[in-house]
Structure 1
Amino acid sequence: MNTVIPLPDALSDSALELARLVLVRGPISRGELAKELKLSVASLTRLGKPLIDSGLLVEGELLTDGTVGRPVRLLDVRNDSAWFVGVKVAGDVLQAVLTDLRATVLAEASLPLPDTAVATVVAGIARLSEQLAAQHGVVVTGVGVSLGGQVRAGGVVYRAPFLAWKDVPLGALLADRLRLPVVVDNDVTALVAAEQWFGAGKEVADFAVITVGAGVGYGLAIRNHVMRTADTGLGLGGHFPLDPTGPMCADGHRGCSTAMLSIPSICLQISAALGHPVDYAQALELAEAGNKVAVAVLEAAAKALGVLISAAANLTMVNTVVLGGEGLALFTSRKDAVLTALAAGRDPDADPVTLRVASADFTEWARGAAAVAIQAQAFVL
């Protein structure tokens, strides 16, 4: 059942920052929080009292590290103090998840799309949101939606070619339908946001995200800030040149990241060479069995992925790269080839690049959508 947390009527910016920090870093001691917020422990205790009294923050058991000194109680958030729905809009399906305050997926649901008309998509998102809330007996705090394309202020989808949308006020339409706060964001940017608060960003302030699937996506977080520009959602990372001898993409770019790495391109290359249709799972199986065509295509793709990772790290000077998307099997099945190409593209004196592999599950995209809703609402509960 949903837990209703009666928060104080007005929280100072400092109290909100405290709550956000505990959400992202908790469980955490008051001493660590005081250091991070540049406050005395006494001031921090006063600041946190209304949050604890409201039930948003909770104190753990007394802990000791075995040395002389007072035991401490770690502060944490109540994960069940708010619930969020995240929805990923794909060309033929809506994928939705229900999450708690830390973007932990508690339930999921999907709905095929008969078409991409705005009314169809809005109705489908509303149906999934209401279905997840009703099935689990919770009151949803906010809804996040992600899609491939450019999204402007107010949740306006400025451009989404795969949906054939232009200037669609999706956020306003959904907010009016659901009577809830709604956030709309680019799908790759939403994944970066999820990593920022609930993944790689918990340990590093700077990282890149590269996704491989129906296309190739790229996102960046610098100094704990998700990079968003007017060009976000154009898919600029999808046409980065990787191999001058590679195949062409639909836009005529030879050997770009989409041509080398995307699932449709990999399948098309192998299918054309073998003379019959091959899907991604079959392509991987053929390569595993030693089929020369499949091995050659996937080895070239793995090398290209290593080149792309090294370019991202070199040009942005980040040392952590998160790999995501439903095409992640390219990395896991050809890891050595990827790492060899990555090393070849790095200065030997440069710090090593840490690779983090996210879930290849399609629900990860929907979780990213939930994460941007959480970030937008924390802590307007």
Structure 2
Amino acid sequence: MPLAGDPRPRTAWTPLTGPAHSIALEVLLDGPLPRIELARRLELSPGSLTRLSRPLLDTGLLVETDSVCDPVSGRWTRPLDVDESAHAFVGVKLTADTAHAVLTTLRARVVAAVEAPLDGRAPAAVAATVARLVRELAGDGLERLRAVGVGLGGLVDDAVVRSALYLGWEDVPFGALLEAELGLPVVVDNDVLSLTRAEQWFGAAGRCTHFAVVVVGAGTGHGLVVHGEVLDRPDAGVGLLGHHPVDPHGPLCPEGHVGCAEAVLTTAAIELRAGLALRRAVTFEQVLELADRDPLARRVLDDAARSLGTLIAAVANTAMPEKVVVSGENARLAEVAHDALWEGIRAGRHRLASPLVVDVQLTGFAEWARGAAVTAIQTFVLGRRR
């Protein structure tokens, strides 16, 4: 079944279900893989694997790599892999004033990155800017471009942006607007969910079926994967975790909540508190640089990291994930104030609770855009977002 709006026949990843597709997906996520390992994972006989993989090799979806010696059987074998450069994808992260775009392979390896300021926030103008970046990235390889993914902070429902406050959008069919500009399939997703999908398939949580992503930056948010599926609920774009209380003595957020994550952990919140303490305006990056030599900067960061630990503990206590991935522009907070972070985590966890795995992933706008590309890749490969 082709993606909605795709004018070209879809052949490379059909069928979308069944053993043949399972073989292709295993190879995509973990390849190159020896045939004996593939057969073991999928509980197939060697004969069945050969029969099912032959059409995939004939169409070029799978390729054989150079011969290697299998450490288990001692036999020489040619592992199966995908030709990841045969399919290209573009991911776009929209902020209030800039479009950040990356070109990736089928495995979400970033090949090129560009960005451009938005010429106003009118949906048509934003679509025109994004389309220009897509064409710039694709260059002469437009025929390899399969889909475009767009990630933004807000509530998204089937490529319609129901609400994106920082863009001033309500009920904007942005996916349809961009498809009309490009003649390519477009998927639009909440940016935190896209980042979660990227960690699931090609990131720190690869092959983990139950994990959480906690994002701290201009805003706060989280994504959950349970039984291998991203929890893509209508409330995912509302930013519910941002209003979880982390400091009973903290400041007010714009919604009037005392000491919630939005009031304590965002870039603006940390910069404001540090500016008051240091009696001058400072950026988040400057506060990080000052941490080792200025006790006031260190206090601001430690307090924030302790609150982040409280937030992580709350997510771990309620969702009970195998691991928590900390990401976003302010993820360095978890490294620079590591001890304070774990003070907050330990204070919020039961002494008999399982040890918590916390994986810190430093994220810039290119990584956010890559997340949007992964949403496009998943939709292309699965016929849906996972």
- What TM-score, normalized to structure 1? 0.93
Tell me the CA shift for residue 65 of structure 1.
Answer: 4.5
1:13–1:65 Cα change, 3 Å: closer
Q: Deviations over 1:187-223 (max 9, x none)?
A: 0000011111112342311110011110111001111
The residue aligned with 1:3 is none
Give the Cα separation in 2 of the matches to 1:235 and 1:301.
Answer: 19
Give the Cα separation in 2 of the matches to 1:10 and 1:210.
Answer: 34
1:67–1:237 Cα change, 3 Å: closer
- Contact 1:7 / 1:56 at 8 angstroms: preserved in 2? no
Is the partner of 2:253 in helix, strand or coil?
A: coil
1:306–1:370 Cα change, 3 Å: same
Tell me whether 1:378 sits opposite 2:386 in the alignment: no
Tell me the CA shift for residue 21 of structure 1.
Answer: 2.0
Give the Cα separation in 1 of the matches to 2:142 and 2:89.
Answer: 13
The amino acid that maps onto 2:185 is P
Aligned mate of 1:263, from 267, 271, 282: 267
Map 1:266-345 onto structure 2 (within 5 A): 266-292=270-296, 294-345=297-348
Tell me the CA shift for residue 361 of structure 1.
Answer: 1.9
Give the Cα separation in 2 of the matches to 1:282 and 1:312.
Answer: 29
Aligned mate of 2:161, from 151, 157, 163: 157
The amino acid that maps onto 2:306 is K
- Contact 1:201 / 1:224 at 8 angstroms: preserved in 2? no
The residue aligned with 1:123 is 128
Instruction: List alignment gaps of at least 5 residues for structure 2.
Output: 1-9
The residue aligned with 2:112 is 107
Give the Cα separation in 2 of the matches to 1:237 and 1:169.
Answer: 26
The alignment's C-alpha RMSD in Å is 2.1
1:33–1:121 Cα change, 3 Å: same
The residue aligned with 1:134 is 139
Tell me the CA shift for residue 297 of structure 1.
Answer: 1.7
The amino acid that maps onto 1:78 is D
Is the partner of 1:288 in helix, strand or coil?
A: coil
Tell me whether 1:211 sits opposite 2:215 in the alignment: yes
The residue aligned with 2:230 is 226
Map 1:71-86 onto structure 2 (within 5 A): 71-86=76-91
Give the Cα separation in 2 of the matches to 1:83 and 1:8.
Answer: 13
> Percent of aligned positions with the same letter in both sequences?
46
Give the Cα separation in 1 of the matches to 2:178 and 2:286.
Answer: 39
Tell me the CA shift for residue 13 of structure 1.
Answer: 2.0
The residue aligned with 2:96 is 91
Instruction: List alignment gaps of at least 5 residues for structure 1.
Output: 1-5
Tell me whether 1:249 sits opposite 2:249 in the alignment: no
Aligned mate of 2:34, from 26, 29, 37: 29
The residue aligned with 1:38 is 43
The residue aligned with 1:60 is 65
Give the Cα separation in 1 of the matches to 2:318 and 2:16.
Answer: 39
Give the Cα separation in 2 of the matches to 1:216 and 1:379.
Answer: 29
Mean alpha-carbon deviation: is it higher for 109-118 or for 205-214? 109-118
Give the Cα separation in 2 of the matches to 1:298 and 1:379.
Answer: 42
The residue aligned with 1:355 is 358
- Contact 2:224 / 2:231 at 8 angstroms: preserved in 1? yes
Tell me the CA shift for residue 327 of structure 1.
Answer: 0.9
For this pair of structures, how many residues does the alignment match?
374
Give the Cα separation in 2 of the matches to 1:20 and 1:191.
Answer: 20
Give the Cα separation in 2 of the matches to 1:336 and 1:9.
Answer: 47
Give the Cα separation in 2 of the matches to 1:379 and 1:337.
Answer: 41
Give the Cα separation in 2 of the matches to 1:10 and 1:112.
Answer: 38
The amino acid that maps onto 1:317 is M
The residue aligned with 2:175 is 171
The amino acid that maps onto 1:233 is G
Give the Cα separation in 2 of the matches to 1:9 and 1:287.
Answer: 50
Q: Deviations over 1:29-52 (max 9, x none)?
A: 223322333322211211111111
Map 1:164-203 onto structure 2 (within 5 A): 164-203=168-207
Tell me the CA shift for residue 11 of structure 1.
Answer: 3.0
Give the Cα separation in 2 of the matches to 1:252 and 1:9.
Answer: 49
Give the Cα separation in 1 of the matches to 2:109 and 2:12.
Answer: 26
